[in-house]
Structure 1
C-alpha cells in the first residue's frame, strides 16, 4: 500500500479503543473513521490515510449496500464498506480496494 504522508493538522482528539469512531484495521495499523476522513497515528501525530493509486478489486461478487452486513464508513463524497480488512468503494461499475 502506498500511503502518502499527509499530516492532519490541528487534530486534538486522540483516537483509540472506545473513542467513539469506527476502527479500520489493515496493513499492521488501525485507521479511525472521523468526519469523512481516515486517520492513523504516526510518529506522534495523526496522518490522513489515503492511497495514491487506483486499485480495482476484481472478483468481488458481493454487492455492498444498506443492510449488506458490512460496516459502512462515510469517506469524503462516497461510502466505503469494511470487508475482510479492506475498504471497498463503488467506482464506475466495479469495486475499488481502498
Structure 2
C-alpha cells in the first residue's frame, strides 16, 4: 500500500506520548488522530497520512462497531477502527485498509 506524501502546513503542535491525541500504529510508524485526519512524522515535519489507493482488506469477517473491542478514530467523514497495525474503514459492504 502506498501512502501519499502531503505535508501538513503550519503544524506547530508536536505529537507524542501524552500529547492528547490518539496514537494509532500504522505499519512502520505511528499516526496521531487530530481534527478528523491523521498525522505522521516525516523528515522533521508532519504529513497527512492517507492511503494512496483503494485497498480492500480481504477475508475480514469481523464486524467493527462501538463495542467490537478495537479503538475507533474519527477520520474525515467516517470512523476507522484500529486493528493489527492498520485502520479499517467500512466501504460499500467491505472493509478497506487505511
1:86 match? 86
Give the secondary-structure state (helix, strand or coil) at the position aligned to 2:74: strand
Distance 1:26 1:78 in 2: 18
2:68 match? 68
CA offset at residue 62 of structure 1? 0.6
CA offset at residue 3 of structure 1? 1.2
Q: How does 1:1-98 map onto structure 2 within 5 Å?
A: 1-98=1-98
RMSD over aligned Cα atoms = 0.8
Distance 2:37 2:54 in 1: 17
CA offset at residue 90 of structure 1? 0.3
* Structure 1 residues not aligned, in runs of 5+: none
Distance 1:26 1:66 in 2: 21
Q: Which runs of 4+ in 1 moved over 2 A?
A: none
Number of residue pairs matched by the alignment: 98
CA offset at residue 27 of structure 1? 2.1
Query: TM-score, normalised to structure 2's length?
Result: 0.96
User: Which structure has more strand as a fraction of its residues?
Assistant: 2
Distance 1:29 1:17 in 2: 14
